[in-house]
């Protein structure tokens, strides 16, 4: 460019971001400078074309089926409320003090999860040396294939099943929106569990992945426990 | 779709019927009762507040008194407000069998309370969907709410918050020793000074700005983690998210051992050390280095998020 | 050319109705109604996919990210309070999903991706895209050829209408960076289009 105007300045001019005196000065310059005039013309044409571009483009295939499989409560929660959807769980809420069964569920959970801890602790090959493995426990290899992890997973599934079933038994006392909150959170954790499982299958031999998966299961148990506490206290 | 909507409408209609009956028993339907009551209480009283829906605002003041003002939801059965100096109990009473169907529930039972308490009192608040705000209270604060948002501004000695989907916005001053925040899908924003901090979420993003924080642990399943602050002595600073990205911004002259690893994401580091592949396996990235005197322990781990370690 | 951005009372009324319907759907979806969520998906996928496609210039990646955006929307539905229109909320969320993915992919800013496969932009099934003029198609292709950083800012600013401060916030950069990338995008587009 042969003139002193910076192109960025013309950007601002076209975008209407100049002050009034700056704008007036730029317009005076444009009258005498063809290079800048062409730039402005291009920028205006570009924006006009951009404005005319379609806002919607359809993907070449329908993505819903995959998406549905990933959000469906039966798939997502693994242990569903025995086939009943959220609708069946819309129920009458009781007053305070009727939450004994849920507290009991939390107790079941504690017992069940300490069972898992015992599983890890009691098995020298699987014991990471830090009790229930967590993300922060950079321990020795726990299990590096899904095959090796399966016994632990069954333990977790059992604990989760017990808890969900107790929730199910008390579903009439559950506030539907609370249930929505719980389900939404469980879905997030379950997505993480699925992702970690897939990674273990994809990269057998990556021992830390088992810790990651175990950690996600632990989080699910803790979340259910907290969920009970929330329900109990509210 | 249609079936579900119909069932919901039926549900609401039935619920509405129940509520109308309750309301005609009590007072004029639709009327919200206002409250303004004061009780004497000790300056270190334990105060328990239970309000199922609506809002709770607690403000510390320099008096040995608890004052409750506000309005009660038209479906409620009144306010229980007891004090025996050291223990204060405040509850919005809700009829048994009251139906918890969506919006109508909040409308019928939602009560707005403003409560003034001695500034050094310990406060415990439980709710289902009320938004909660606590300002200028120096005692221990414990808040449990399923889906209400929580705001705290002050220097509570200890702060404990547990929510399902509510967002948390916390400003804690230098007097706070311990902060524990737990949320499901709600986000957490925390500014704190000199305390120990533990934050855990499922999907909510975590943003912490800290000044001289002691042992700190921020963890999430799917939320991102954003930490800005200095590090003190040999404290531990843990940042872990499964899906979320983690950004840790530290002073240029920080003294720490930093161990960062990501299984599927990248690592960017301002301190001039390059990440390497993790030793044990073929995938994943790990960055392990010492800066300054190597005093504090920083542990950063994510599965699929990316990590940024920045100089402030 | 018919466009959804035509003004007029009828269109405004129609949009008002659509928004009300959308709010009903959102509430149902928040209660876990997947059929309602499917409708939200059908109503919004075109815009979300267009955004993902333009930001990534990679149809396969764009499909994955569109799905991820809806998944994230589903899991965050309870936090949607109706302050903004659902489509705006969703759109913003989709931008964040794409940007987060970009960050996790590491730095690729300097890479110049040329794409010959313009089929996804001219998909016959798409009612509006099919009507794209030659000029628009050229621009579409030129945008796809931009480096990531410049393309991101151009798509967000020139097509999606976000302001520089919003873009800076979303990308975690400074306003100046956003402006510089926009300028760079325009300069590169000019080189490509006027060649
Ligand atoms: Zn000129």
pLDDT at B239: 96
pLDDT at B143: 93
Whether A229 has its CB under 8 Å from any CB of chain B: the answer is: yes
Picking from C42-51, C136-145, C156-165, which range would have the lowest pLDDT averaged per residue?
A: C136-145
Average pLDDT over residues B220-243: 93
- Please indicate whether residue B142 or residue C81 has the higher confidence score (pLDDT): B142
Which of B5, B6, B145, B188 is best to mutate for the C interface (most C CBs within 10 A)?
A: B5
Bridge-based pairing of strands B111-118 and B65-72 is antiparallel
CA distance A214 to A145: 13
pLDDT at B308 over 90: yes
pLDDT at A222 over 60: yes
If you measure from the C-alpha of residue B129 to the centroid of ligand 1, how many angstroms do you get, rounded to a whole number? 61
- Please indicate whether residue B265 or residue C17 has the higher confidence score (pLDDT): B265
pLDDT at A232: 61
CA distance C195 to C182: 20
The confidence band for C175, taking pLDDT boundaries of 50, 70 and 90, is confident
What letters, b where the CB count within 10 A reaches 16 and e where it falls short, cover C138-164?
bbbbbbbbbbbbbbbbbbbbbbbebeb
Six-digit token string for B203: 């999907």
pLDDT at B47 over 70: yes
Bridge-based pairing of strands B79-83 and B85-92 is antiparallel
The proportion of chain B whose per-residue pLDDT surpasses 90, expressed as a percent, equals 55
Picking from B184-188, B222-226, C5-9, C59-63, which range would have the lowest pLDDT averaged per residue?
A: C5-9
CA distance B59 to B81: 17
Six-digit token string for A117: 């801890």
Whether B1 has its CB under 8 Å from any CB of chain C: the answer is: yes
Asked whether the beta carbons of residue B100 and residue A175 sit closer than 8 angstroms, the reply is yes
The confidence band for A199, taking pLDDT boundaries of 50, 70 and 90, is confident
Compare all CA atoms of chain A with the CA of C160 and give the residue at the minimum distance: A55
pLDDT at C51 over 90: yes
CA distance B201 to A188: 11
Picking from A197-201, B224-228, C115-119, which range would have the lowest pLDDT averaged per residue?
A: C115-119
If you measure from the C-alpha of residue A4 to the centroid of ligand 1, how many angstroms do you get, rounded to a whole number? 6
CA distance B276 to B284: 9
> How would you classify residue B225: left for phi > 0, otherwise alpha for psi between -120 and 50, otherwise beta?
beta
Residues of B in contact with A230 (CB under 8 A): 144-146, 162-164
Three-class SS state of B197 = strand
The confidence band for B214, taking pLDDT boundaries of 50, 70 and 90, is very high
pLDDT digits (tens, 9 = 90+) for C2-23: 333 333 444 444 445 555 566 7
If you measure from the C-alpha of residue C148 to the centroid of ligand 1, how many angstroms do you get, rounded to a whole number? 29
If you measure from the C-alpha of residue A28 to the centroid of ligand 1, how many angstroms do you get, rounded to a whole number? 10
Kind and range of the H or E run holding A117: helix A100-122
Whether A97 has its CB under 8 Å from any CB of chain B: the answer is: no
CATH 3.40.630.10 for the C108-195 domain, yes or no: no
With both helix axes pointing from N to C terminus, report the angle between C34-56 and C86-104 in degrees, rounded to the nearest 10.
Answer: 50
CB-based contact B123:B134 (threshold 8 Å): yes
Q: In angstroms, how far apart are the furthest CA atoms of chain A?
A: 86
How many Cα atoms occupy the beta-carbon half-sphere of B76 within 13 Å?
24
Beta carbons within 8 Å of C176's beta carbon, 6+ residues apart: none
pLDDT at B203 over 50: yes
pLDDT at A91: 23
Three-class SS state of B287 = strand
Query: How many angstroms separate the Cα of B19 from the Cα of each of A173, B6, B94, B98, B113?
Result: 17, 20, 11, 7, 21
Residues of A in contact with C15 (CB under 8 A): none
pLDDT at B196 over 90: yes
If you measure from the C-alpha of residue A36 to the centroid of ligand 1, how many angstroms do you get, rounded to a whole number? 4
Whether A48 has its CB under 8 Å from any CB of chain C: the answer is: no
Please give, rounded to a whole number of angstroms, the shortest distance from the CA of C102 to a CA of chain B: 10
CB-based contact B123:B105 (threshold 8 Å): no
CA distance A91 to B101: 8
pLDDT at C111: 26
Compare all CA atoms of chain C with the CA of A176 and give the residue at the minimum distance: C31
pLDDT at B8: 30
Q: pTM for this structure?
A: 0.54
Query: How many angstroms separate the Cα of B72 from the Cα of each of A232, B77, B79, C140?
Result: 23, 9, 8, 58
- The long-range contacts involving A79-87, CB below 8 angstroms and separated by at least 24 positions, are A79/A157, A79/A160, A79/A161, A79/A164, A79/A165, A80/A164, A81/A164, A81/A167, A81/A168, A81/A171, A82/A165, A82/A168, A84/A168, A84/A171, A85/C32, A86/A176, A86/A179, A86/A180, A86/A183, A86/C31, A86/C32, A86/C33, A87/B4, A87/B7
Compare all CA atoms of chain C with the CA of B148 and give the residue at the minimum distance: C79
> Which has the closest alpha carbon to B231: B216, B219, B218?
B216
Q: What is the mean pLDDT of chain B?
A: 84
pLDDT at A121 over 50: no
Q: Domain residues of chain B, as ranges?
A: 1-126
pLDDT at A112 over 50: no
pLDDT at A231: 63
Please give, rounded to a whole number of angstroms, the shortest distance from the CA of A77 to a CA of chain C: 13
pLDDT digits (tens, 9 = 90+) for B93-124: 877 655 444 456 777 888 999 999 999 999 99
For A192, which of B7, B242, B283 is closest by C-beta distance? B242
**CA geometry: angle at A155 spanning A154 and A161, to 5°?**
85
Three-class SS state of B115 = strand
The confidence band for C105, taking pLDDT boundaries of 50, 70 and 90, is low
CA distance B258 to B181: 24
ipTM of model: 0.78
pLDDT at C34: 83
pLDDT at A68: 84
Picking from B142-151, C104-113, C166-175, C183-192, which range would have the lowest pLDDT averaged per residue?
A: C104-113
The confidence band for B63, taking pLDDT boundaries of 50, 70 and 90, is very high
pLDDT at C153: 93
Chains that touch A (3 or more CB pairs under 8 A): B, C
Contacting A residues, span 7-26, partner chain B, CB-CB under 8 Å? none
> Which has the closest alpha carbon to C48: C27, C28, C73?
C73
How many Cα atoms occupy the beta-carbon half-sphere of B36 within 13 Å?
1
CB-based contact B258:B291 (threshold 8 Å): yes
pLDDT at A195 over 70: yes
Q: Domain residues of chain C, as ranges?
A: 20-106, 108-195
Picking from B5-14, B78-87, C62-71, which range would have the lowest pLDDT averaged per residue?
A: B5-14
pLDDT digits (tens, 9 = 90+) for C112-131: 222 333 334 443 333 333 34
If you measure from the C-alpha of residue C188 to the centroid of ligand 1, how many angstroms do you get, rounded to a whole number? 19
Whether A197 has its CB under 8 Å from any CB of chain B: the answer is: no
CA distance B157 to B174: 9
User: What residues in chain C have their Cβ under 8 A from chain B's Cβ atoms?
Assistant: 27-28, 31, 33, 35-36, 39, 75-76, 78-79, 100, 103-107, 172
Average pLDDT over residues A181-193: 81
CA distance B229 to B111: 39
Q: What are the residue ranges of helices labelled H in C7-123?
A: 9-30, 34-56, 59-76, 86-104
For A87, which of B4, B164, B243 is closest by C-beta distance? B4
With both helix axes pointing from N to C terminus, report the angle between A207-233 and A176-202 in degrees, rounded to the nearest 10.
Answer: 170
pLDDT at B212 over 90: yes
CATH architecture, range C20-106: Orthogonal Bundle (1.10)
CB-based contact C34:C77 (threshold 8 Å): no
Whether B198 has its CB under 8 Å from any CB of chain A: the answer is: no
- Please indicate whether residue A31 or residue B279 has the higher confidence score (pLDDT): A31
CB-based contact B167:B133 (threshold 8 Å): no
- Please indicate whether residue A194 or residue A166 has the higher confidence score (pLDDT): A194
For B306, which of C36, C75, C103 is closest by C-beta distance? C103
Residues of C in contact with B1 (CB under 8 A): 28, 33, 35-36, 39
Which of C6, C27, C32 is best to mutate for the A interface (most A CBs within 10 A)?
A: C32
pLDDT at C20: 54
Query: How many angstroms separate the Cα of C67 from the Cα of each of B244, C22, C64, C87, C94?
Result: 17, 19, 5, 15, 9
If you measure from the C-alpha of residue A27 to the centroid of ligand 1, how many angstroms do you get, rounded to a whole number? 10
User: Counting one residue from B and one from C, how many pairs have CB atoms under 8 Å apart?
Assistant: 49
pLDDT at A75 over 60: no
Q: What is the mean pLDDT of chain A?
A: 64
With both helix axes pointing from N to C terminus, report the angle between C34-56 and C59-76 in degrees, rounded to the nearest 10.
Answer: 140
Residues of A in contact with B304 (CB under 8 A): 195
**Spacing of C-alpha C134 from chain mean position:** 21
Average pLDDT over residues B182-186: 88
pLDDT digits (tens, 9 = 90+) for B127-155: 888 999 999 999 999 998 888 899 999 99
């Amino acid at each position: 460019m042969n003139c002193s105007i910076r192109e960025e300045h013309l950007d601002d001019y076209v975008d209407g971001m100049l002050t009034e005196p700056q704008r007036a000065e730029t317009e005076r310059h444009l009258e005498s400078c063809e290079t800048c005039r062409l730039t402005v013309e291009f920028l205006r044409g570009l924006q006009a074309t951009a404005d005319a571009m379609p806002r919607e483009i359809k993907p070449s295939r329908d993505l819903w089926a995959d998406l549905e499989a990933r959000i469906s409560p039966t798939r997502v929660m693994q242990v569903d409320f025995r086939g009943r959807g959220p609708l069946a769980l819309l129920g009458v809420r009781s007053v305070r003090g009727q939450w004994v069964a849920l507290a009991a569920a939390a107790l079941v959970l504690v017992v069940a999860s300490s069972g898992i801890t015992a599983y890890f602790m009691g098995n020298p090959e699987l014991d990471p040396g830090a009790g229930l493995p967590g993300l922060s426990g950079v321990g020795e290899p726990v299990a590096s294939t899904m095959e090796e992890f399966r016994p632990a997973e069954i333990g977790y599934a059992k604990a989760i099943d017990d808890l969900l079933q107790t929730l199910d038994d008390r579903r009439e006392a559950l506030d539907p929106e609370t249930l929505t909150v719980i389900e939404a959170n469980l879905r997030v954790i379950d997505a993480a569990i699925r992702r970690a499982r897939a990674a273990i299958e994809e990269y057998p031999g990556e021992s830390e992945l088992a810790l990651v998966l175990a950690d996600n299961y632990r989080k699910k148990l803790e979340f259910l426990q907290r969920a009970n506490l929330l329900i109990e206290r509210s | 779709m249609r079936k579900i909507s119909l069932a919901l409408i039926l549900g609401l209609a039935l619920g509405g019927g129940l509520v109308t009956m309750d309301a005609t028993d009590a007072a004029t339907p639709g009327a919200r009762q206002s409250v303004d009551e004061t009780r004497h209480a000790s300056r270190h009283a334990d105060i328990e507040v239970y309000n199922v829906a609506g809002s709770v605002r607690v403000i510390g003041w320099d008096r040995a008194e608890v004052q409750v003002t506000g309005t009660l939801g038209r479906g409620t059965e009144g306010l229980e407000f007891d004090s025996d100096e050291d223990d204060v109990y405040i509850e919005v009473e809700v009829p048994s069998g009251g139906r918890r169907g969506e919006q109508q529930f909040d409308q019928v039972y939602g009560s707005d309370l403003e409560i003034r308490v001695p500034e050094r009192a310990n406060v415990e608040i439980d709710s289902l969907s009320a938004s909660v705000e606590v300002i200028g209270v120096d005692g221990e604060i414990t808040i449990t709410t399923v889906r209400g948002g929580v705001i705290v501004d002050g220097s509570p000695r200890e702060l404990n918050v547990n929510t399902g989907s509510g967002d948390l916005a916390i400003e804690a001053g230098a007097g706070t020793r311990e902060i524990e925040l737990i949320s499901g899908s709600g986000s957490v924003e925390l500014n704190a000074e000199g305390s120990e901090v533990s934050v855990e979420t499922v999907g909510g993003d975590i943003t912490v700005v800290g000044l001289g924080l002691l042992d700190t642990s921020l963890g999430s399943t799917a939320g991102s983690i954003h930490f800005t602050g200095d590090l003190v002595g040999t404290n531990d600073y843990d940042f872990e998210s499964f899906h979320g990205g983690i950004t840790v911004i530290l002073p240029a002259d920080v003294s720490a051992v930093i161990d960062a690893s990501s299984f599927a994401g990248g690592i960017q580091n301002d301190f001039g050390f390059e990440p390497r592949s993790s030793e044990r396996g073929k995938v994943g990235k790990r960055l392990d280095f010492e800066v300054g005197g190597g005093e504090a322990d920083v542990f950063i781990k994510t599965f699929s998020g990316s990590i940024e370690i920045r100089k402030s | 050319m018919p466009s959804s951005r035509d003004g007029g009372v009828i269109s405004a009324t129609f949009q008002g109705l659509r928004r009300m319907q959308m709010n009903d759907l959102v509430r149902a979806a928040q209660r876990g109604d997947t059929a309602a969520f499917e409708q939200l998906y059908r109503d919004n996928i075109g815009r979300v996919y267009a955004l993902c496609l333009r930001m990534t210039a990679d149809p396969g990646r764009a499909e994955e990210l569109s799905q991820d955006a809806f998944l994230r929307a589903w899991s965050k539905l309870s936090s949607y309070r109706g302050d903004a229109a659902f489509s705006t909320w969703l759109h913003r969320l989709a931008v964040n999903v794409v940007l987060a993915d970009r960050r996790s992919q590491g730095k690729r800013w300097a890479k110049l991706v040329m794409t010959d496969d313009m089929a996804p932009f001219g998909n016959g099934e798409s009612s509006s895209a099919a009507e794209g003029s030659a000029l628009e198609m050229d621009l579409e292709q030129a945008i796809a050829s931009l480096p990531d950083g410049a393309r991101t800012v151009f798509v967000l600013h020139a097509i999606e209408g976000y302001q520089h401060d919003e873009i800076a916030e979303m990308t975690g950069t400074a306003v100046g960076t956003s402006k510089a990338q926009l300028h760079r995008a325009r300069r590169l587009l000019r080189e490509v289009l006027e060649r």
